Structure 1
Amino acid sequence: MEDLVHVYPFSAVVGSDDLALALTLCAVSPAIGGVLVRGEKGTAKSTMVRAQAALLPQVTVVADCRFGCDPEAPDPACPDGPHPVGSPVRIRPARLVELPVGATEDRVTGSLHLGKALAEGAAEYEPGLLALAHRGVLYVDEVNLLHDHLVDLLLDAAAMGRSTVERDGVSVTHAARFVLVGTMNPEEGELRPQLLDRFGLTVEVAAPRDPHQRAEIVRRRLAFDADPAGFVARWSDAEAELSRRIADARTRLPHVRLPDAALVAIAEVCAAFDVDGMRADLVTAKTAVAHAAWCGRDEVTREDIAVAAKLALPHRRRRNPFDSPGMDEDLLDDLLRDDGDEPEDPDDDPDGGPDGGPEPGDEAPGAESAASPAPATVTAPGEPYRARLLAADRTGRGAAGRRSRARTTIGRTVGEHSGDAGPIHLPATIRATAASRPCAVSVAGATETAHGWELRRKVIEGKEANLVLLCVDASGSMAAKARMTQVKTAILSLLLDAYRRRDTVGLVTFRGDRAQLLLPPTNSVDVAAARLRELPAGGRTPLAEGLTEAAETIRRHRLRDPDRRALLVVVTDGRATAGADAVNRSLDAADHVAAQGIPSVVLDSETGRFRMGLARQLAERLGAEYVPVGDVQADAITTAVRGRAA
């Protein structure tokens, strides 16, 4: 654990009351299942998690157990066991174990102890991070960026409370019960639904807008940076009081009653908010009990249920990955209102008219006067639909994801080889070297050259993510409501698939006299979907500028991530009307894209009796698949992209 002098005091954090409460309730009752903290950068997410860990009560463990067994109830399958009654014990602080986003599978689950394997030829297990986190907190910063194979390990451990390792001649299972705390910035990508549901509670945090509160935050942080020890000392009494309250609440927790009426109310709330499964009911009940214990009550009240529901349900209500998490607090109040409570009069609205609406002359935020027509129209997409897997037809070398097969440096080790490429497979190297020599390998007191070892390399296979760059014509010729709705619906469906496949997505639009990178390549398809919905249409068609901007976007992205394969999807009706010689400039831009070797799909939405046929010429110059869509059918768009990428 970090030196407490360098940990910002939990009680000194300004604002973020919901996060402070969620972390505290999980400290009172670890069975809640942890907290997911969502918020923009610079909102003290990590600071609060690390600060709260310093307040956790100390734990008693078997003295010589590397797995932190409780002497009162030791794990019967502990690799360091059995632990008989009367075994020596020790008291230590509860651990906060940080799981790095780039951690290897061996580091998380544990692996062969290489030192003893080399020195003694013994196959002994060395515990990983899951073992260290047992009876403590496992903290994952930027949990939404965690690689999928590590997410699978966390899911298994969180569900079973155990970690099992069957690898490199080691067969071990041990207890791994921990409070899972993750922080994330939604702009960097969303979390897999399976892992999202494993977090007991979720909290949205944002920087305060009150200037006085912001000033106080800066004031305290500057004071801490100038004199950490002095600042911590000034808050020591408040920290001690919080730690005492947590310990008292833990003692009270087993004695808090959950009446049948309260349990039925919890079930009614969960059913009304249409959550999946029964985990929401269980977590809400555990959180309500913990809140009652924290408040010094011996029985759960409706107030406890309301607090618990606001923390446990928002992330379980999402039906679509593009839906913002949240809940209807008015509905929650109605569900938990006592029979004797008077409902609010909907006509008694001091801010509205006699029927609860706006007063005469009021305008909705963002509303435009009828006298000033908008220069472009915004068309809403329809409901997205599920697309089939878009997978490349060969094994690539891209970033880890869930789309195409790839040989990666992060994934599952599926074999070994004796070539020169890839990371060294140490256990296989040791076995191969030992088998090829009549005597044991000696390290101490001997000098070995690299060619003296039978080197083996890992063969690691995983899934890669791709860059899907959408280049969308938003000009006046595409502004017909039916056609634009179909286009947006299809693109939204592709974004939904990209979310599930962990792809990077980007959006280039062109209209008027210029092209715009509306969304730089990002993992946040939520942001892409929001930009798509707001996309206006109207004006001239700068096709050449759109292609040039798309090519430049892919070129820049290749410099940062050369192994990620890209697919350019050009959605256009083929009309180039911006500037002199617009058609020839568009074909020249297509030649530039083709020269960069960018795989493309051209979706021709040109309609009418007399057609210019520019989209077909464009596809030929791009070396792209040409799809005459006609009226821009959404299923045609999806089929075209599937065919190109599969």
Structure 2
Amino acid sequence: MPQHYPFSAVLGCEADALDDMGLALVLTTITPEIGGVLVRGEKGTAKSTTVRALAAVLPPVEVYAADRFSIDPDDPAATSPDGPFAGDAEVHTRAVRLVELPVGATEDRVLGSLHLERALSHGKVEYEPGLLARAHRGILYVDEVNLLHDHLVDLLLDAAAMGQVTVERDGVSVEHAARFVLIGTMNPEEGELRPQLLDRFGLTVEVAAPREPSLRAEVVRRRMAYDGDPAAFTERYRDLDRSLTERIESARERAVKVRLTDVALLKIAEVCAAFEVDGLRADVVTARTAVAHAAWAGRDEVTRKDIRRAALLSLPHRRRRNPFDAPGLDEDLLDQVLGDDELPPEPPEGRAPDEPTRPPATDDGAEGGLPDDADDGSDSPVGESDPSRDPDDPDAELPRPGPAPAPAPEQGPGSVVGAAAAYRPRLLTVQGLGEGAAGRRSRALARTGRRVGATRGDSGSLHLVETLLAAAGQQPARGRTSGRVDVRAEDLRVAVREGREANLVLFCVDASGSMAARRRMTQVKTAVLSLLMDAYRRRDKVGLITFRGQDAELVLPPTHSVEIAAARLEELPAGGRTPLAAGLLEAVKVLHRERLRDPRLRPLLVVVTDGRATDGADAVARSMRAAEHVAGLRITTVVIDSEVGPLRLGLAVRLAEVLSAEHLPVAEVSAEALTGAVRSHTALNLFGQGVA
């Protein structure tokens, strides 16, 4: 059996000095009802290594030898589709399973499906368990969970919350237990998890590589020792892992006896209310985490320290209202709400506890409070979430902007113009069926979604009924008149499914002085910001090119990461000359690159300019030649004309003609009109780009 890196050897996972990640993983294994852990962090921070090592330190489980669903023999209420089992049924002890869910897994692989061999060979309809059944009473690990399709993430989180799975398909109706510890890891640079899904994870932590040279050297030292002799390295930490297993087992037994007093429960409610989290899931998760932490620390009653540490793990990712809000938790506010004193004792029976008291006010009227002591877990993880909108409704209303900001003063060269509040843009979709990457915008042929037909093939989701029908018509020619159906490779039919695809919207924005002087950058930035929010929910890719001065710059490579996009957009300066040709040629490079990466991703180029190329004597001629080059790519393009005033040169109109693009006058270059233009042209023009 291959040796896994020991859990205790991971820096920060020593039993008496657990960091946020180690503690969150341990607590959710003590009390799986917490709801799992999402670990966010940059690449190379031992996220996957730590999770895979966790299973080895968990206490083993007892299962029936003939049970594929791993129910607990000691639980009289547990039922299995393979049961019932007699009192003398064979029971054996095995290690906890770590089941890894690939990002490209299908719904059938996750939930289970028909046993094809028995169905085709014997005509019997029999259920084949999926990954959720295999993960029961174990760990379900999803690496890069942010890249998993939304409907699969919904499915996993629903199963984790309900503790069971119901499968209804193709004449099969099965219900089985699915209680597991769900752990997801992700790199935020590769795209964010939807806020509604983020809220469903009980705990969220963020990890980063240590900055101290001595700690980094120690990590490398341990890793090289492990690679040199895995068996010897694992043996060196065996006793530490064994003691950790015993402590987890002891904490599980103690957790059911830990007292969560009314005073502690009211304090948890006060903390959640102070941070304005939506719903009551935060209160429930914080309470469960505080109980698990008390059990881990060997206490019989929840204390202030337990509540503080639980809040730091369960609340940061629930504070956000939209994807661009900064993550994190204000620890000063947390300490103010908790106060400096330990929780008061439980009031006598029959007497209601006092109302939770607010922290004392300081001289300036602000609430006071001293920070907790250094050893009570003051390290704060960060994450993000927005539980305020329906997770099943991608068209849910976005936050409405407040009053319009006052007009900005005239901007000089190189100055930065801010965006107004983002708003909810209109949704228009691409007509017809595309074949792009899975998203939430346009209709497309996809691996997931509703079944709309079948086609011949041997890759994809097998369409059993159509396969049997195709084979049935060939039975006389194959000498079959009765008995088993003779199914051959040419009879196989796979399901054709209709789902949704994502699109690429590439902005090429004039950031010259003329744009800034006319205060157009605010509208443009607001439109892009709104589109980013919508793209975040619908899995679009968005890129941003700006041209000013003497050159063009790709300030935002096509990405799904809205946090990076918002930051780049906010820092976008305006001023200088207008190198329009450079902007168009840079767009050509980006679109060429994206087409090589994914030929199925259908792009829309949005050029925002007044058309006044001013970077040389032949600037206009060079711009038109560059436009001809773009037109040769057959890229659907929209030109937003920002030219104003009584004397108009009409260069943007001419540019649109060369690009074979639609021209939109300046009256439509408001934030709402610009985003509407993107949506409408996605719907009207992209259909002619090769979708059959």
Please give the TM-score of this superposition, normalised by the length of structure 1. 0.90
- Residue 656 of structure 2 is aligned to residue 628 of structure 1: no
Shift in alpha-carbon separation, 1:290–1:422, aligned structure 2, 3 A: closer
Aligned 8 A contact 1:149 1:412 in 2: no
**C-alpha RMSD of the superposition:** 2.3
Structure 1 match to 2:232: 230
- Residue 51 of structure 2 is aligned to residue 13 of structure 1: no
| Residue 439 (structure 1) aligned to one of 482, 485, 489 | 482
Secondary structure in 1 aligned to 2:173?
strand
Aligned 8 A contact 2:71 2:78 in 1: no
Structure 2 match to 1:524: 561
Shift in alpha-carbon separation, 1:74–1:389, aligned structure 2, 3 A: farther
Structure 1 match to 2:146: 144
Alignment of 1:175-194 (within 5 A): 175-194=177-196
Structure 2 match to 1:274: 276
Distance 2:508 2:76 in 1: 60
Structure 2 match to 1:382: 420
Aligned 8 A contact 1:607 1:631 in 2: no
* 1:174-211 deviations in Å (ceiling 9; x for gaps): 11121110000011111122321221000011111111
Shift in alpha-carbon separation, 1:424–1:335, aligned structure 2, 3 A: closer
* 1:62-118 deviations in Å (ceiling 9; x for gaps): 331111111232566531122355543222111111000001111111111112223
Distance 2:171 2:620 in 1: 66
Distance 2:40 2:76 in 1: 36
Shift in alpha-carbon separation, 1:574–1:29, aligned structure 2, 3 A: same
Structure 1 match to 2:398: none
Alignment of 1:399-410 (within 5 A): 399-408=437-446, 410=447
Distance 2:119 2:642 in 1: 65
Q: Which amino acid aligns with 1:108?
A: V
Structure 1 match to 2:376: none
Please give the TM-score of this superposition, normalised by the length of structure 2. 0.84
Structure 1 match to 2:26: 24
| Residue 100 (structure 1) aligned to one of 102, 109, 127 | 102
Aligned 8 A contact 2:455 2:496 in 1: no
Q: Which amino acid aligns with 1:523?
A: H
| Residue 252 (structure 1) aligned to one of 251, 254, 277 | 254
| Stretch moving more, 278-287 or 5-14 | 5-14
Secondary structure in 2 aligned to 1:164?
strand
Secondary structure in 1 aligned to 2:183?
strand
Distance 1:169 1:631 in 2: 54
**Following TM superposition, by how much is the alpha carbon of 1:507 offset from its aligned partner in structure 2, in angstroms?**
1.2
Aligned 8 A contact 2:458 2:493 in 1: no
Distance 2:166 2:485 in 1: 31
* Runs (5+) with no aligned partner, structure 1: 347-372
Secondary structure in 2 aligned to 1:310?
helix
Aligned 8 A contact 1:143 1:182 in 2: yes
Secondary structure in 2 aligned to 1:411?
coil
Distance 1:617 1:122 in 2: 68
Structure 2 match to 1:360: none
Structure 1 match to 2:159: 157
**Following TM superposition, by how much is the alpha carbon of 1:429 offset from its aligned partner in structure 2, in angstroms?**
4.9
Distance 1:567 1:325 in 2: 31
* 1:139-179 deviations in Å (ceiling 9; x for gaps): 00000000123223223323332222222332212111211
Q: Which amino acid aligns with 2:444?
A: A
Aligned 8 A contact 2:640 2:663 in 1: yes
Distance 2:559 2:340 in 1: 47
- Residue 68 of structure 2 is aligned to residue 50 of structure 1: no
| Stretch moving more, 75-84 or 534-543 | 75-84
Distance 1:455 1:229 in 2: 47
Distance 2:679 2:121 in 1: 54
Alignment of 1:473-488 (within 5 A): 473-480=510-517, 482-488=519-525
Aligned 8 A contact 1:22 1:201 in 2: yes
Structure 1 match to 2:356: none
Distance 2:46 2:11 in 1: 10
Structure 2 match to 1:643: 680
| Residue 502 (structure 1) aligned to one of 526, 539, 546 | 539
Secondary structure in 2 aligned to 1:388?
coil
| Residue 391 (structure 1) aligned to one of 389, 407, 429 | 429
- Residue 589 of structure 2 is aligned to residue 552 of structure 1: yes
| Stretch moving more, 577-586 or 103-112 | 577-586
Aligned 8 A contact 2:639 2:656 in 1: yes
**Following TM superposition, by how much is the alpha carbon of 1:277 offset from its aligned partner in structure 2, in angstroms?**
0.8
Secondary structure in 1 aligned to 2:599?
coil
Secondary structure in 1 aligned to 2:329?
coil
Secondary structure in 2 aligned to 1:246?
helix
Secondary structure in 1 aligned to 2:166?
strand
Q: Which amino acid aligns with 2:419?
A: P
Structure 2 match to 1:511: 548
Aligned 8 A contact 1:508 1:517 in 2: yes
Structure 2 match to 1:466: 503
**Following TM superposition, by how much is the alpha carbon of 1:441 offset from its aligned partner in structure 2, in angstroms?**
4.1
Aligned 8 A contact 1:498 1:504 in 2: yes
- Residue 635 of structure 2 is aligned to residue 585 of structure 1: no
Shift in alpha-carbon separation, 1:124–1:601, aligned structure 2, 3 A: same
| Stretch moving more, 290-299 or 454-463 | 454-463
Distance 2:200 2:413 in 1: 47
Distance 1:433 1:617 in 2: 57
Distance 2:72 2:362 in 1: 52
Structure 2 match to 1:197: 199
Alignment of 1:341-352 (within 5 A): none
Q: Which amino acid aligns with 1:302?
A: R
Structure 2 match to 1:173: 175
Structure 2 match to 1:608: 645
Aligned 8 A contact 1:542 1:577 in 2: yes
Distance 1:609 1:416 in 2: 58
Q: Which amino acid aligns with 2:640?
A: L
* 1:260-308 deviations in Å (ceiling 9; x for gaps): 1110010011111111111000000000000000001100011100100
Distance 2:657 2:458 in 1: 38
Distance 2:187 2:44 in 1: 10
| Residue 337 (structure 1) aligned to one of 336, 339, 344 | 339
Shift in alpha-carbon separation, 1:75–1:633, aligned structure 2, 3 A: same
Structure 1 match to 2:396: none
The total of aligned residue pairs comes to 611
Distance 1:248 1:468 in 2: 54
Alignment of 1:317-336 (within 5 A): 317-336=319-338
* 1:413-437 deviations in Å (ceiling 9; x for gaps): 5143355697473523542255333
**Following TM superposition, by how much is the alpha carbon of 1:580 offset from its aligned partner in structure 2, in angstroms?**
2.9
Q: Which amino acid aligns with 1:138?
A: L
Distance 1:122 1:236 in 2: 48
